[in-house]
C-alpha cells in the first residue's frame, strides 16, 4: 500500500500524518506497518482539510494534543501562510479546538492549542515498591492521564509504576487511551508514558501534549490558582497554561515548537 505522508516533530513527539483516506478497518495494520518502517515515529494519524480547516483522526481513535496543534503548522505549510488561526477537529474530542500557528523559519513553526477543561479530576492509589502511592487522575476527552509527582523522576521505576497502573485500571472499564505522567516537582521535568487501547501500543514518548495539559490541570488543582509554566520533556519543551476561576479549571493551553518534514510517498510493502 502506498500513502502520502508528512512528518511533524512537536517537541520530539514524532507524529506521522497520512494524507490519503484510510478505511477504519485498515488503520490498525497500517499503523503497525508505518511504525515498523520508521522507529523514530511515535504515533500515526490521518490528516485532511475541510474548507481549509484541519481534521485529524488518530489511528487508535484517541485524542492527541500535539497532533492537534501540529495540524495548525501543517495548514500554514500547505496554504503558504506565515501565521493563522484554525479550528481543528481531532478524534476523541467532540468539539473543534482553536489552534494558533506561526512560521518561525523554514520548516519550523510555533503552534498552540486551547483545550477544554478536564471532564473530571480525582485520585487513584497504586501499589509501588510495596507502598501505596497517589496519582492525580485527569480525565480529558479521548484520553485519561495519571499524574505522579515525585522528588526525582530518575529514581522512579517507570515500568513497575506503569504496570501497577495497568493492573488497577483493569479492574474497571479501560479508557480508549491513557497515560502516566511522571513529574519532578522542583524542576517540572516530565517523563510521559502512553498506552492506546485500540492499537495495543505502549509508548515512552519524547513529549505528550494531552499529558502536558493534564499536568497543568493537576498543578492548578493542587495550587487552586491559574498558572503558566514550561515543562521539560525528553524531546524538548512544552509550554502550559491553566485558567482557574470560581474554584475550577475553565481552560487549558499547550504550545511550543513544531518542525515539519517534506511530504513523502511511503510504500508499506517495502519492508516485506
pLDDT digits (tens, 9 = 90+) for 31-50: 999 999 999 999 999 999 99
Determine the pLDDT at residue 270: 66
Question: Are 13 and 205 contacting, i.e. CB atoms less than 8 angstroms apart?
Answer: yes
Same domain, 82 and 126: no
Q: Residue 254: how many CA atoms within 13 Å on its side-chain side?
A: 29
203 located within any domain: yes
- Structural domain boundaries enclosing 148: 120-256
What is d(CA 143, CA 196) in angstroms, rounded to the nearest whole number?
Answer: 9
Question: Are 15 and 34 contacting, i.e. CB atoms less than 8 angstroms apart?
Answer: no
107 located within any domain: yes
Please say whether the dihedral angle defined by the alpha carbons of residues 71, 7, 143 and 135, taken in this order, is positive or negative.
negative
pLDDT exceeds cutoff 80 at 200: yes
Determine the pLDDT at residue 268: 86
Three-class DSSP category at 263: coil
Greatest alpha-carbon span in the chain: 58
Determine the pLDDT at residue 187: 97
- Going by pLDDT thresholds of 50, 70 and 90, the confidence category of residue 111 is very high
pLDDT exceeds cutoff 60 at 271: no
**E strand segments, 91-189:** 97-105, 108-115, 120-128, 131-140, 143-150, 177-184
Same domain, 49 and 127: no
272 located within any domain: no
Total domains in the chain come to 2
Determine the pLDDT at residue 172: 87
pLDDT exceeds cutoff 90 at 60: no
CATH of residue 9's domain is: 3.10.310.10
Q: What is the pLDDT of residues 216-253, one digit of tens each?
A: 999 999 999 999 999 999 999 999 999 999 999 999 99
Interacting residues of 156 by C-beta distance below 8 A, sequence separation 6+: 148, 150, 182, 191
pLDDT exceeds cutoff 80 at 272: no
Amino acid at each position: 500500500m502506498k500513502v502520502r505522508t508528512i512528518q511533524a516533530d512537536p517537541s520530539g513527539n514524532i507524529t506521522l500524518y497520512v494524507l490519503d483516506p484510510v478505511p477504519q478497518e485498515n488503520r490498525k495494520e497500517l499503523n503497525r506497518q508505518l511504525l515498523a518502517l520508521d522507529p523514530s515515529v511515535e504515533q500515526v494519524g490521518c490528516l485532511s482539510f475541510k474548507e481549509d480547516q484541519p481534521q485529524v483522526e488518530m489511528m487508535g481513535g484517541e485524542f492527541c494534543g500535539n497532533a492537534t496543534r501540529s495540524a495548525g503548522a501543517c495548514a500554514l505549510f500547505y496554504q503558504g501562510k506565515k501565521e493563522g488561526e484554525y479550528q481543528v477537529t481531532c478524534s476523541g474530542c467532540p468539539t473543534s479546538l482553536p489552534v494558533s500557528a506561526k512560521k518561525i523559519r523554514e520548516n519550523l513553526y510555533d503552534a498552540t492549542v486551547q483545550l477544554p477543561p478536564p471532564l473530571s479530576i480525582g485520585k487513584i492509589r497504586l501499589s509501588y515498591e510495596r507502598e501505596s502511592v497517589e496519582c492525580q487522575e485527569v480525565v480529558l476527552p479521548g484520553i485519561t492521564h495519571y499524574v505522579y509527582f515525585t522528588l526525582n523522576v530518575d529514581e522512579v521505576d517507570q515500568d513497575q509504576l506503569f504496570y501497577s497502573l495497568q493492573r488497577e485500571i483493569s479492574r474497571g472499564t479501560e479508557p480508549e487511551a491513557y497515560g502516566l505522567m511522571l513529574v519532578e516537582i522542583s524542576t517540572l521535568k516530565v517523563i510521559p508514558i502512553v498506552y492506546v487501547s485500540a492499537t495495543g501500543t505502549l509508548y515512552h514518548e519524547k513529549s505528550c501534549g494531552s499529558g502536558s495539559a493534564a499536568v497543568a490541570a493537576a498543578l492548578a488543582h493542587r495550587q487552586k490558582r491559574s498558572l503558566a509554566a514550561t515543562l521539560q520533556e525528553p524531546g524538548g519543551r512544552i509550554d502550559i497554561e491553566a485558567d482557574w476561576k470560581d474554584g475550577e479549571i475553565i481552560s487549558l493551553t499547550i504550545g511550543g515548537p513544531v518542525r515539519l518534514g517534506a511530504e513523502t510517498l511511503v510504500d508499506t510493502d517495502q519492508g516485506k
